[in-house]
């Protein structure tokens, strides 16, 4: 009776340790995954705010202006457009300079323009060069301008950042698989003689592995849910102390993150259990005593 109670307590302790180990590793992966997804959202935000200034002919008729905006709005690279009159441009420049430059010049030298915001997939150097060349060919356009340096920096810096983060993610994933695998192998270690005995009496490998895989499934689910709970708590703390960190995070991003944690927990847990049980099935009796 005491031995049975001891065995149950030891099994329960082993299960709890395995679940906690899986949860902590998945939590670390989840934090890094959040940074990866947030970096992508941040890059998308910067690209969506790349603005092209399309300066129009000064004597352009209103009907031609309306037709031009309609054509521009229908272009596949257009996210949105905004028309700025010459007077509005002068007022904006006056605020930026802090003085009335029109009083010195006597007339408004600025041209009316259309502010063009691009879709994020088009806010890259090659696409922008093509778009600018395409717009300059229009007879209603006087000049086209955009900040090429900003676009180049987004492309270069975000590419480097993505490689660095993906490198850390790959490294942590390898460590996570190793840790979870060792945790599960240690949990199955105490049952190695039972596995061998069942194999010797004629039980199939699937029959032997099935209860361990079922237990592993629940361990993976509980570990993933615990990790998701820790991530939610961390995000709530971040929302309170560092609200800007979540400025680019939406519900879809969080859903992808939590689903990824759950799927990864199940896959690693099931795969580790499958190979750990298979290892003991292949051992002979002498190796079982020394493994």
Determine the Cα–Cα distance for residues 73 and 129; give it in Å rounded to an integer. 19
Question: For the chain, what are the domain ranges?
Answer: 2-45+154-290, 51-146
pLDDT for the residue 108: 63
Q: How many Å separate Cα 23 from the centre of its chain?
A: 20
CATH number corresponding to 51-146: 3.30.70.3040
pTM for this predicted structure:
0.58
Q: Residue 91 in contact with residue 31, Cβ under 8 Å?
A: no
Tens-digit pLDDT string for the chain (291 aa): 455 564 455 556 666 777 887 888 888 888 888 877 777 777 777 787 788 888 888 888 888 888 988 999 899 988 888 888 877 776 776 676 666 655 555 566 678 888 888 888 888 888 888 998 989 998 898 888 887 777 777 777 777 777 777 787 778 777 767 776 676 666 666 666 677 677 677 777 777 778 878 888 888 899 899 999 999 998 888 787 777 666 667 788 888 889 999 998 888 888 888 877 777 666 665 555 545
pLDDT for the residue 86: 75
CA atoms within 13 A on the CB side of 162: 12
């Amino acid at each position: 009776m005491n031995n049975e109670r001891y065995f149950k307590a030891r099994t329960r302790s082993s299960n709890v340790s395995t679940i906690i180990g899986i949860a902590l590793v998945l939590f670390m992966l989840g934090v890094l995954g959040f940074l990866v997804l947030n970096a992508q959202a941040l890059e998308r935000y910067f690209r969506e705010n790349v603005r092209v200034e399309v300066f129009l002919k000064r004597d352009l008729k209103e009907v031609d202006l309306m037709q031009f905006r309609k054509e521009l709005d229908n272009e596949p690279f257009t996210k949105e457009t905004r028309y700025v009159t010459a007077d509005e441009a002068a007022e904006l420049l006056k605020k930026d300079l802090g003085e009335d430059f029109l009083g010195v010049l006597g007339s408004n030298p600025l041209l009316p323009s259309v502010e063009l915001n691009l879709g994020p997939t088009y806010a890259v150097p090659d696409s922008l060069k093509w778009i600018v060349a395409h717009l300059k060919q229009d007879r209603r356009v006087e000049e086209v301008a955009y900040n090429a340096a900003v676009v180049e920096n987004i492309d270069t810096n975000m590419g480097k950042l993505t490689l660095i983060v993906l490198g850390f993610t790959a490294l942590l994933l390898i460590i996570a698989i190793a840790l979870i695998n060792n945790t599960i192998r240690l949990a199955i270690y105490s049952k190695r003689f039972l596995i061998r005995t069942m194999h010797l009496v004629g039980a199939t490998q699937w029959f032997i592995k099935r209860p361990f895989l079922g237990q592993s499934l629940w361990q993976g689910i509980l570990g993933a849910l615990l990790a998701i709970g820790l991530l939610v708590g961390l995000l709530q703390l971040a929302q309170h102390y560092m609200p800007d960190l979540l400025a680019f995070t939406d519900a879809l991003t969080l859903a992808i993150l939590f689903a990824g944690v759950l799927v990864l927990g199940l896959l690693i847990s099931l795969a580790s259990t499958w190979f750990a049980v298979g290892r003991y099935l292949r051992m002979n009796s002498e190796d079982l005593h020394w493994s």
